[in-house]
């Protein structure tokens, strides 16, 4: 996957099982920061949450986000702003495919990943959040 403005080293951060951090604004106009498992697909970043979780509610109120991914050694990082869109399973054709990619990226044991993915497919409260970076050339 090529994203303009990113070096191969920076892009590799999104391929590794590194936890990203997403910041949103809560109804009191305070920042709310949370960790997510994510994948890059077609120049957009995806993560999952449940509809009842705060992050989903806050994104509904204000879709502006900031995301950062930092290599564990701190030598490489990405930081960018963008807009988030919330998808239910029947609103996005690749929903289950993207969910499966997220699970298999972070859960290395195949049996556990398969079971986890099976349970997620049965969870109607699960949502995918799609992040479109404001400017793909300004990832840092």
DSSP string, 46-76: EEEEETTSHHHHHHHH--EEEEEEE-TTSS-
Residue 23 Ramachandran class (φ > 0 left, ψ -120 to 50 alpha, else beta): beta
Q: What is the CATH number of the domain that holds 79?
A: 2.30.110.10
User: Between residues 139 and 119, which one has the greater pLDDT?
Assistant: 119
**For residue 2, what pLDDT is reported?**
43
What percent of the chain is predicted at pLDDT more than 70? 91
| Tens of pLDDT, residues 82-132 | 999 999 999 999 999 999 999 888 888 888 878 877 787 787 888 999 999
**For residue 56, what pLDDT is reported?**
95
Number of domains in the chain: 1
Q: Is the per-residue pLDDT at 1 higher than 50?
A: no
Q: Which domain holds residue 113?
A: 8-133
Q: Is the per-residue pLDDT at 136 higher than 60?
A: no
Beta strands in the chain (DSSP E): 20-25, 31-36, 38-41, 44-50, 64-70, 77-87, 126-133
| Tens of pLDDT, residues 13-39 | 888 889 999 999 999 999 999 999 999
- pTM value is 0.87
| Tens of pLDDT, residues 35-82 | 999 999 888 999 999 999 999 999 999 999 999 998 888 778 888 899
User: Does 139 map to a domain?
Assistant: no
**For residue 104, what pLDDT is reported?**
85
User: Does 1 map to a domain?
Assistant: no
User: Does 138 map to a domain?
Assistant: no
């Amino acid at each position: 996957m090529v994203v303009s403005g990113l070096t191969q080293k920076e892009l590799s951060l999104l391929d590794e099982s590194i936890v990203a951090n997403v910041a949103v604004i809560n109804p009191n106009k305070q920042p709310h920061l949370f960790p997510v498992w994510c994948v890059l697909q077609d120049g957009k970043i995806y993560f999952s949450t449940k509809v009842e979780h705060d992050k989903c509610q806050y994104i509904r109120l204000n879709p502006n986000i900031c995301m950062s991914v930092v290599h564990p050694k701190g030598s490489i990082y990405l930081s960018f702003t963008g807009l988030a869109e919330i998808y239910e399973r029947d609103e996005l054709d690749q929903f289950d495919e993207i969910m499966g990619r997220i699970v298999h990226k972070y859960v290395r044991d195949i049996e556990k990943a398969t079971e986890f993915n099976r349970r997620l497919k049965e969870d109607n409260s699960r949502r995918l959040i799609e992040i479109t970076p404001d400017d793909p050339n300004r990832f840092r």
